[in-house]
Structures are given as C-alpha cells and as structure tokens.
Chains A and B, each alone.
Chain A
Amino acid sequence: MRPCRAPARPQRWGSTTLNKHDNPFQYVHDLLVDEFDIPGDAVRPEASLFDDLGIDSIDAVDMIVHMREVTGGRITPERFKTVRTVQDVVDLVDHVMA
C-alpha cells in the first residue's frame, strides 16, 4: 500500500456534524478523504469501497463508528453489510437522515 496523500482541502463539515440540509455525498467524500487517506478524485459515486478504494473490514468498522456519531446511532453494521459503492453509503446516510 503506497502512501497517497490527499491534497489539503477545507473542512466544511467539521468532523462530527451532519445536518439534514447538508449534502450527503460531500460528507461521505470528506470522510473518505480526511479519515482514510483516499485521493478525492477517486471518490466517485460508482466506485466500489472495497475493490477500488481499498476499504477493508477494519476501515468499515471505523466508518460505521464515524457515521453513527454524525447520524445519531442509526447506522448499524447490519445495514452497512449491503453497502458496495460510494453511492450506497450516500444512500444509506441520506436514508437515515431523512
């Protein structure tokens, strides 16, 4: 695994807030870039978390923990199990925020 530093970007969301009106894609994008060192341009809706972005099972736990914080405990590992792509995560966030 080679180092892949993301370009510095302004943190729009802080790390633990997500409001109804915020853009869920932007949140997922920033989460992947800031917490998981994934280059921003790789985070496209159709990208597979596991095959394209190199998210492993430990990362998945950390993602769930993070998302649970910002959504108030409504994302469970069971729900996350069906997730394959970035868009799936966005849909999940969207769904629990609705």
Chain B
Amino acid sequence: MTIDAQNSTTRRGGGRAALDRLPGRSLRRLWTVLSFGLFGVGALLFGLVYSPLLWLLVHPRERREKVARSSISAMFGLFIAFMGLFVLSWEVHGRVEPDGEHGKNRGDSDGPAQAGGTGRVVVANHPTLIDAVFLMWLLPGADCVVKASHWRNPLLMLAVRAAGYLPNNDDERLLNEGVRRVRAGHTLLLFPQGTRTRPGEEPEFRRGGAVIAARATVPLLPVRIRCTPPALRKGEPWLRVPARRGHFTIEALPLMHPADGIDPGVSERRGTRELTKRLSLLLLEEVN
C-alpha cells in the first residue's frame, strides 16, 4: 500500500493489480464481514468510550467537534486500509483536501481568497455504501451532511452527535448552518443525490450544495467516484462480492465558483439550478 501525497497528485492503495483475483470470493466475503464487524466495534467504542471522554475533557463544543471529526477520519482510514488488504483497492486523483489546511501549499488555489480561507463545499456522486467513508478519510475534520436516521441508530448516534454533523432532514437549519460553517472555513461534504444511486436509475441532484456555496461565496469541489466492478450498491446485499475486488477511482475535479458562467443578473434560484445541472452532468458522466 502506498500513500504518496507529497510528490504526485495521484495516490493509490489496496492490492496491486496482479493480486486482483488472488483472494478468492469466499475469502473476500469473509473479509467483508470482518471489515463491517470492525466498523461496528469501532463505532461502538467511539460512541461508548471515546465520545464521553470528549464530552468531559474537550471544550468548547467547536473544538470537541473538530477533534471528533478528525478521529472519525483516522478510524475510517484504518477501516479502508483493512478493506484494502483483500476486498478493495483505490486511486485518488487530484487534491481533495483544501490547499493550505495543514499550512502548506497555500496560494495555488484558483479562486479569490476568502475570509475564512479554506471554506468550501465538497459535492460527490454516491455509487457505493462507503463513499462517505472514503471522503471523510480524505478530508480530515470535514463537516458532513449525514442521513438523519443515523441520529436514532444506536451504533452511530453518539458519534454523529459528538462530531456535530448536520442531519439531512431540516433543510432550513442545513442551509443556515452550512453557510455559517463554510464561511468559518470548514469543509462541508454532501451528496447532492441524497442517497446511493440505484442501479439503472438516473439520480436527481438537489441544489442545496450549490445554494450554500453561493450564499457563502465559497467554491465547490466536485468529486467523482467510480467503483469497478460495481460493489456495495444500493439495493444489493453487501455480501454479494463482485468477481474481482472493487477498485475505487476518486477524482477531485477543478474547483467551481458559484458565480462562474452565470450572468450576474440571474437570480440565485436559477443560477444554482444551472450549476447543479452542470454538477450532475460532470459527476454522473460515464468515463470510458
């Protein structure tokens, strides 16, 4: 496994191509079970042991949420490394994380400097069960719009609360909080199609991400996710492992600025609709 962000903008991980077929289906099925088992144990420990400690020891809330999100990111990295041993591999193109977030590579961003500096909205398509896991790993500390039912899921409820993620069932709060947070320099990750793509269906993109970016005047980072052969799709049991290990290609596309290519006189409503349409074409476009 090599992760090399220093010299190249492409990083790869998981098994090498020659090993694609090596782990047989039954091993990969077993490993998938173990991986999700590990995920569950991790979530439980996080919720029952780690997050109470955070509530006790880390103040104020802002700082606690940031620590919780960074920890979740690190745990997801472990989870992906674990899955990467036998059941998947991946390559990441481009810089997903904002320039300068870690105090380096500042200044090559192609947009106007913002007051908060690094605030941005990351929007991605959603082909598999673990897209959020990948992106939250790649975006340490990012805020995320998360399925509201996780707030009632015993395994995840403490983690999503500790991290201060935004539930997707309150549009008004989502818009206001989303704008406030990206203005404050946060990265906000969301999946405009709301839920995973159903095989054979064209997902519809909602324009909340574009609206938040427009109202906060921060850029949008479109991230295109592909998985071949398809794995962990909506409506499929996750134990149905494909013939080869799933290979993820995660591409950070050029930043988009909400005002780009839209006449100044156009209303926000129409402008963000057009932007969202462009985003969906870009992210759902069939490559190859």
Binding site for B on A (CB under 8 A): 1, 3, 36-37, 56-61, 64-65, 77
Q: A1-B274, A56-B206 are in contact. Are A61 and B171 (CB under 8 A)?
A: yes
- Distance between Cα atoms of A1 and B268 in the complex (Å): 13
B145 to chain A, nearest CB (A): 13
- Distance between Cα atoms of A37 and B266 in the complex (Å): 10
Q: Are A77 and B170 in contact (CB under 8 A)?
A: yes
Q: Hey, which chain A residues are within 8 Å of B59, CB to CB?
A: none
Q: Hey, which chain A residues are within 8 Å of B206, CB to CB?
A: 56-58
B179 to chain A, nearest CB (A): 12
- Distance between Cα atoms of A77 and B170 in the complex (Å): 9
Q: Hey, which chain A residues are within 8 Å of B172, CB to CB?
A: 61, 64-65, 77
Binding site for A on B (CB under 8 A): 170-172, 175, 206-208, 211, 266-267, 269-270, 272-274, 277
B171 to chain A, nearest CB (A): 5
A78 to chain B, nearest CB (A): 11
Q: Are B171 and A1 in contact (CB under 8 A)?
A: no
- Distance between Cα atoms of A36 and B270 in the complex (Å): 9
- Distance between Cα atoms of A59 and B270 in the complex (Å): 11
- Distance between Cα atoms of A15 and B92 in the complex (Å): 49
Q: Hey, which chain A residues are within 8 Å of B207, CB to CB?
A: 56, 58
Q: Are A58 and B175 in contact (CB under 8 A)?
A: yes
A97 to chain B, nearest CB (A): 21
Q: Hey, which chain A residues are within 8 Å of B208, CB to CB?
A: 57-58
- Distance between Cα atoms of A37 and B170 in the complex (Å): 25
Q: A1-B273, A57-B206, A58-B207 are in contact. Are A37 and B267 (CB under 8 A)?
A: yes
Q: Hey, which chain A residues are within 8 Å of B274, CB to CB?
A: 1
Q: Hey, which chain B residues are within 8 Å of A37, CB to CB?
A: 267, 269-270
Q: Hey, which chain B residues are within 8 Å of A3, CB to CB?
A: 266, 270
Q: Which 9 pairs from chain A and chain B are nearest by CB?
A: A61-B172, A61-B171, A1-B273, A57-B171, A58-B211, A58-B207, A37-B267, A61-B175, A58-B208
Cβ-closest chain B residue relative to A65: B172
Cβ-closest chain B residue relative to A59: B269
Q: Hey, which chain A residues are within 8 Å of B171, CB to CB?
A: 57-58, 60-61, 77
Q: Hey, which chain B residues are within 8 Å of A64, CB to CB?
A: 172
- Distance between Cα atoms of A59 and B170 in the complex (Å): 14
Residue of B207, B269, B273, B277 with highest tally of chain A CB at under 10 A: B269
Can you list 28 pairs linking A and B with CB atoms under 8 Å apart?
A1-B273, A1-B274, A1-B277, A3-B266, A36-B269, A37-B267, A37-B269, A37-B270, A56-B206, A56-B207, A57-B171, A57-B206, A57-B208, A58-B171, A58-B175, A58-B206, A58-B207, A58-B208, A58-B269, A58-B272, A59-B269, A60-B171, A61-B171, A61-B172, A61-B175, A65-B172, A77-B171, A77-B172
- Distance between Cα atoms of A3 and B262 in the complex (Å): 12
**Other CB < 8 Å A-B pairs besides A37-B270, A57-B208, A58-B207, 11 of them?**
A1-B274, A3-B270, A56-B206, A56-B207, A58-B175, A58-B269, A60-B171, A61-B175, A64-B172, A65-B172, A77-B171
- Distance between Cα atoms of A61 and B172 in the complex (Å): 6
- Distance between Cα atoms of A36 and B267 in the complex (Å): 9
B40 to chain A, nearest CB (A): 32
